[in-house]
């Protein structure tokens, strides 16, 4: 009879709580989620995070050349990613949730380095995710595989984009897949 004992220990110590970030900014002044290696979260409300407690302003009118996001309130983060598959990119997914039922909280992650890149909204189009589908940061899709800086725009989807209810609260979370090291192994 075999008796297998394994002890797996994380080789790095990261707070279970992770980093907590505030609401996003604008294309001109995004809130940096950097380097997105430790697990963390960010939250905001596109209905109330704007000037005077009102809705935020539209930052990206069109995404991927065709999707009409004009008029909808949005918030913007900047994200620095190491290359997919490298030791520097330990986060594997980026998720969004919202308690505003009518709000189709959607994430638009695309490469760019300037406010104009952000406002342009791609292409390159990067990846998208919403309340039912996380962004996979392990993908080999060239659009998000390359090391670099990306914009993460939070808003509604293109179908809801022009509706009066196209805003709401959101909570972004990303994990940190801890590097795992085999510390002991024996067979009896």
Partner 1 sequence: MKSFQMKALALAVLGLAGFGFAGSAMACDATNLTAWNGGAAAISGGTVTAVAGGLDGSACAMSAALGTAATSQASVLDTSPANEARYRFQFLVDPSHVTTLTAQDSVALFSATNQTVAHGRKGIILVGLVPTATAGIDNISFSYSCNNGTTYKCIHTSPVNLVAGVNRIEFDVQMATVGNANGSIRYWINAPAGATEPAPTDSVTGIDNSAWVGTKLASLGLGSPSPHWSSAHHGEAVLFDTFDSRRQTYIGH
Residues of this chain that interact with partner 1 (CB under 8 A) are: 61-70, 104, 106, 116, 119-120, 123-128, 130, 133, 141-143, 157-160, 162
Distance of closest approach, residue 116 Cβ to partner 1, in angstroms = 7
Q: Which secondary-structure segment (H or E) carries 120? A: helix 115-120
Distance of closest approach, residue 160 Cβ to partner 1, in angstroms = 7
Rg (CA), the chain: 19
Is 39 or 128 the residue whose CB approaches partner 1 more closely?
128
Distance of closest approach, residue 182 Cβ to partner 1, in angstroms = 34
Is 42 or 135 the residue whose CB approaches partner 1 more closely?
135
d(CA 56, CA 50): 4
Distance of closest approach, residue 133 Cβ to partner 1, in angstroms = 8
CA 161 to chain centre: 19
Angle, CA 160 vertex, CA 156 and CA 163 arms, to 5°: 105
Is 31 or 166 the residue whose CB approaches partner 1 more closely?
166
Neighbours of 160 (CB within 10 A): 19
């Amino acid at each position: 009879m075999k008796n297998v004992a394994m002890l797996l220990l994380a080789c790095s110590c990261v707070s279970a709580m992770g980093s907590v970030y505030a609401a996003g900014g604008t294309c001109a002044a995004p809130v940096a989620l950097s380097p997105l290696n430790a697990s963390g979260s960010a939250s905001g409300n596109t209905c109330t995070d704007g000037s005077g407690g009102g809705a935020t302003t539209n930052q990206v009118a069109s995404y991927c050349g065709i999707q009409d996001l004009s008029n909808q309130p949005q918030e913007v983060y900047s994200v620095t990613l190491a290359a997919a598959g490298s030791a520097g990119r330990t986060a594997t997914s980026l998720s969004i949730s919202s308690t505003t039922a009518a709000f189709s909280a959607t994430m638009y992650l695309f490469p760019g380095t300037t406010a104009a890149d952000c406002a342009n909204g791609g292409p390159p189009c990067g990846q998208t995710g919403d309340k039912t589908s996380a962004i996979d940061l392990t993908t080999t899709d060239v659009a998000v595989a390359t090391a670099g800086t990306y914009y993460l725009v939070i808003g509604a989807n293109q179908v809801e984009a022009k509706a009066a209810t196209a805003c709401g609260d959101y909570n972004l979370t990303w994990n940190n897949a801890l590097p795992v090291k085999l510390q002991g192994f024996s067979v009896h």
